[in-house]
Amino acid sequence: MGHQSSDTNAWRIRRSRRARHVRLKVDPVDGLVVVVPTGFDERLLPALIEPQWPWIQKQLRRFGDSLRSPGTVAELPEEITLPAAGQTWRINYATSNASSLRVTTQPDQIVRLRGPVSDRAQVRAALKRWLTRTARSHLVERLDELGTRYGLAWARATIRYQRSRWGSCSSSGTISLNAQLMFLPPELVRCVLLHELCHTRHMNHGPRFWALLDSCEPDHRHLHRELCRSRARIPAWLER
Ligand SMILES: [Zn+2]
């Protein structure tokens, strides 16, 4: 049936009876999709894809990295705005001689970091863990609402950091969502969640998949185009 998500590889394989050659596609939601003819030996893929990396990177960069100036190290944030949830959190840094950082959230949307706060790598890692937790509670709730509303059942949801895609859905019904969705406005998040929920019924991008998505979100074409540009919404401190 294809549309397997393979997390060890940075791409997803889709089998197509009509495909005559291996074809690479970069999709705003799914990231790199490799379309292979049925019966094609998957072990040959890495050697085929490898030479295409410059092109693939360029396509992925089109999803927004273009707005970022290369080589600069971004300041760590004083506040973090999460449009998906309509929240802005203030970040409070407190130095102590503890060897590891402790993160606590306080009322009034304050995130407090206590420990070696001048250790940039530790701060970024701690904020990423906080963001993943925040994303989990918010996105799973949204997924629940949308699944119930449109009668689309999903088995499990995982939230993780993904560089090249916003979401994926496995054939067992596990929906995997990018924690960085929290930086997108609610209508784009909704579109990604609906896209993955529709994959629980149709594990491909065939006409029936688009018809189903159409019935849940008539504006999805416009929103998908918007998603192509939205990597620029991810704050620079997360990336370097
Ligand atoms: Zn898809």
- Annotated domain spans of the chain: 4-67
Separation between Cα atoms, residue 74 and residue 9, nearest integer Å:
29
Mean pLDDT, the chain, whole residue set: 86
Q: How far is the CA of 128 from the centre of ligand 1 (A)?
A: 25
> Strand (E) positions, the chain?
4-5, 11-16, 23-27, 31-37, 79-82, 87-95, 102-106, 110-115, 156-160, 167-169, 174-178
What's the mean pLDDT in 136-161? 95
Separation between Cα atoms, residue 42 and residue 97, nearest integer Å:
51
Q: How far is the CA of 50 from the centre of ligand 1 (A)?
A: 23
**204 pLDDT above the threshold of 60:** yes
What's the mean pLDDT in 174-178? 95
Closest to 183 in 3D by CA, of 53, 69, 37, 81:
81
Q: How far is the CA of 168 from the centre of ligand 1 (A)?
A: 7
User: pLDDT per residue over 26-79, tens digit each?
Assistant: 777 777 788 888 888 888 888 888 788 778 777 776 655 444 444 556 788 999
Q: How far is the CA of 20 from the centre of ligand 1 (A)?
A: 21
Q: How far is the CA of 99 from the centre of ligand 1 (A)?
A: 43
Separation between Cα atoms, residue 195 and residue 220, nearest integer Å:
9
